[in-house]
Chains A and B, each alone.
Chain A
Amino acid sequence: MDPFLTSRFVTDLLGGLTNGVEYGLVALSLVLIWRSTGILNFAQGAMPMFATYIGMGLLSYHVGYWPCVAISIAAGFAIGGVTERVLVRPLYGKPEINPIVVMVGYLIVLEGVAAAIWSTTPRSLPIPFSPIEWQLGGKPIALSPFDVYVIVTGVIVMTAITILFQFTKLGLQLRASALAPEVSRLLGVRVGRMLTLGWMISTAVGTVTAVLVASNFFTGLTPQVMDSIFAFGFIAAAIGGLDSPVGALVMGIVLGIVLQFVTDYLNSNSVIIVALVMLIASLMIRPSGIFTRNASRRV
């Protein structure tokens, strides 16, 4: 008998879900920055990678896994804030190509500096939860305690972000600063601080993702650890609509699941091709993104 939970379909679904949560978180962090500052942050994977190295570097000094995670996230907040103030602020109002060039350059610099400091050898992190899949009637379900850790963390982050943006005074100011900076200033909102805060939050969300990715037994922490996740998160954000946090999350999860089926039924080399075909198709059919209400909001 082949119980449903161990069927090929459910196995692919669950496997894809775990990856998809990671893509969704990266996509969410991209959307947060795009909405508030109109910048496509190509260093959105590299900044969290750097923060993770800073926090997880303390493992060598006998600091525990969880304190290191907290320090990584704190480092993410700090890197996001400093980046916005020093690197990004002079770019506001400049031609669109300027931030792209600067952020791609920043990505290369961060990965280079990380390699120089910490080397390119993968650093394996302690495994907080077992990556061994649960069994059902002697057959494995495609779900391990580690997968649950990833999914639950994703849900917590998404819930926290939703509450922050939809139900708090700070969230109202963050959204207003992104939608109507000038009007917000006339109402006394400190828009400059809100933009900095937006980058801090977004980089911290990215760092949570980087910690999850690097904690995976099969990946480890390298300067390039976020490159492929960033690419898929980027594709998810572009398909879902760069204006839509919900769209980014949903598309991240959908992309993760679709690509898992592709890996299983075709092969893993086809994954990037299928992802790009999905991106191109969505850009041709609905260039502003599936979940975006109006095509061009920022001027």
Chain B
Amino acid sequence: MISITGLNVNFGAVQALRDVSMRAETGKITAVLGANGAGKTTLLRTISGLKEPSSGSIDFEGTALVGQRPENIARRGIGHVPEGRGVIGEFTVEENLRLGAMTAKVNLHEGLDEQYARFPVLGERRRQHAAKLSGGERQMLAMARALIARPTVLLLDEPSLGLAPLVTAQLMHLIHDLCASSGLTVILVEQNASSALRIADNAVVLHLGNVVANDTATTVAADDKLRQYYLGMVE
């Protein structure tokens, strides 16, 4: 479980997160919704150590994450698939996956076989440069690269960005199955709120860096007033 308490994050004079408190429960999907600039990406980047908060704490299974280096947080089993996916275009598909497996204590060949079984298209294209993949394939590669390290927590930043509705649906299905089958904890940042709420257990709604809702996904989905926040209709 990841437990966040009183998190404040600033970019110079601009405060991106204000006193954010939330929890991501083990084996569950917690959706983080909000309009552009609500602070969703900042929240994930602060959890993985890329951004230092000005105050507040992040606790992961009894360990304080604030102040730790991103590489050490990753080695603790927190996988982060960044916005724009971050696959290395100059690397082949397999090199991207090998990099993902690098620091984990997993058998490389078993890991590769497992990911190729899960994403057959990656197996077919293992020797191709990642730059040649389509948007959906890149998303699969980014997911596979995070999963090959067998993380206990997965932070997903806008996985549906730029994907066709059918591909988005498949992706959400996959995330849901992963949680159900392996007890993976997921924090899912999405602009595509309806897709995210369909698979999420809990949902947090951010508005201008403040938590305006923190409840079960069904409750959040049913609240018309909240919808205006994550659809960006409230100024």
Contact = CB atoms under 8 A, between A and B. Distances in A.
Interface string A163-201: 000000100110110011011111111110000000000
A176 B99 CA distance: 8
Interface size class for chain B?
Answer: 20 to 34
**Most chain B beta-carbon neighbours within 10 Å: one of A172, A187, A190, A191:** A187
A185 B75 CA distance: 10
Contacts of A173: 99, 102
Contacts of B103: 187-189
A188 B95 contact: no
Quick one: which of A172, A180, A183, A190 has the most chain B CB within 10 A? Answer: A183
B221 interface: no
B145 A187 contact: yes
A187 B74 contact: yes
B90 A187 contact: no
Contacts of B80: 186
A187 B100 contact: yes
A182, A185, A189, A190 interface centre (most CB from chain B within 10 Å): A185
B191 interface: no
Contacts of B50: 182, 185-186
B116 interface: no
B74 A185 contact: yes
Tell me what chain A mostly uses at the interface: helix, strand, loop, or mixed: helix
B27 interface: no
A69 B104 CA distance: 38
Contact of B70 (A172, A179, A186): A186
Nearest to A191: B71
A188 B88 contact: no
B86 A172 contact: no
Nearest to A243: B90
Nearest to A183: B86
A189 B88 contact: no
Contact of B95 (A172, A184, A186): A172
A27 B70 CA distance: 33
Interface string A224-246: 00000000000000000000000
Contacts of B100: 187
Given A169-B102, A172-B102, A182-B50, A189 B86 contact: no
Contact of A188 (B82, B90, B91, B104): B104
Contact of B48 (A180, A186, A189, A191): A186
B149 interface: yes
Identify the interface centre among B80, B90, B98: most chain A CB within 10 Å of its CB. B90
A172 to B, nearest CB: 6
A183 B146 CA distance: 11
B69 A189 contact: no
Contacts of A188: 71-72, 74-75, 102-104, 149
A180 B74 contact: no
A179 B86 CA distance: 11
A185 B70 CA distance: 6
Nearest to A190: B71
Q: What 5 A-B pairs come out closest when comparing CB atoms?
A: A188-B103, A188-B74, A183-B86, A185-B70, A188-B75
Given A189-B71, A189-B103, 11 more contacts: A169-B102, A179-B88, A182-B70, A183-B88, A185-B71, A186-B82, A187-B74, A187-B100, A188-B72, A188-B74, A188-B103
